[in-house]
Amino acid sequence: MSFDEDALLVRAIGDLGSLGGARRGAEMGVRRLKKNVLEIDLALDMPPQAAADRARQVLSQQGKLLNINGDDGPATLVVGIVGAGVGNLNPAVVSVTIDKAGNGSKLVIRGAAKEGLIKQRAGEAAAKRVAAALT
């Protein structure tokens, strides 16, 4: 259930750079930036499959749902890229790990985004926004 969060962020920012014809430069520059990351634990009173469906729905509404195989093992992984930061122009990778907990589900929502000189806390904002939409 692992994926390369940094590679997804580099590709997403490279896509933005390609709009101005500077894909390679954007990708090279973003590799040097630090990540802003936040993980939020959330408990929902619904079965894991319903929680995974809800997570897919929220991520597709707020951004782009990625097709990453995360159903290996006991937990389910749902991953998407959502806009964050000023004007939602900074792409953030949000992953939701869903596991069974009692009669409901335990979710770990992780938001990660690259940070430049101006700290926007985009990874934190994306994780908080997705967590709020899931509750």
Domain ranges for the chain, please list them: 34-134
Query: Is 78 in contact with 61 (CB distance < 8 Å)?
Result: no
The pLDDT score that the predictor gives to residue 1 is 41
Give CA–CA dist 59/62, Å, rounded.
Answer: 5
User: For residue 62, what are the CA distances in angstroms to 33, 44, 87?
Assistant: 24, 20, 13
Query: Is 111 in contact with 8 (CB distance < 8 Å)?
Result: no
- Options 3.30.310, 2.40.50, 2.60.40, 3.40.50; which CATH number does 34-134 get? 3.30.310
Decide: pTM greater than 0.75.
Answer: yes
Mean pLDDT in runs of 10 for the chain (135 residues)?
A: 76 68 64 89 94 95 86 81 86 94 94 88 95 94
Q: Within the chain, where are the H helices?
A: 5-18, 23-30, 48-62, 122-134
Q: Order of strands across the sheet with 90-101?
A: 34-44, 104-115, 90-101, 76-84, 63-66
The pLDDT score that the predictor gives to residue 22 is 62
Provide the sign of the torsion angle of the four alpha carbons 51, 115, 122, 124, taken in this order.
positive
Amino acid code (one letter) for 104: G
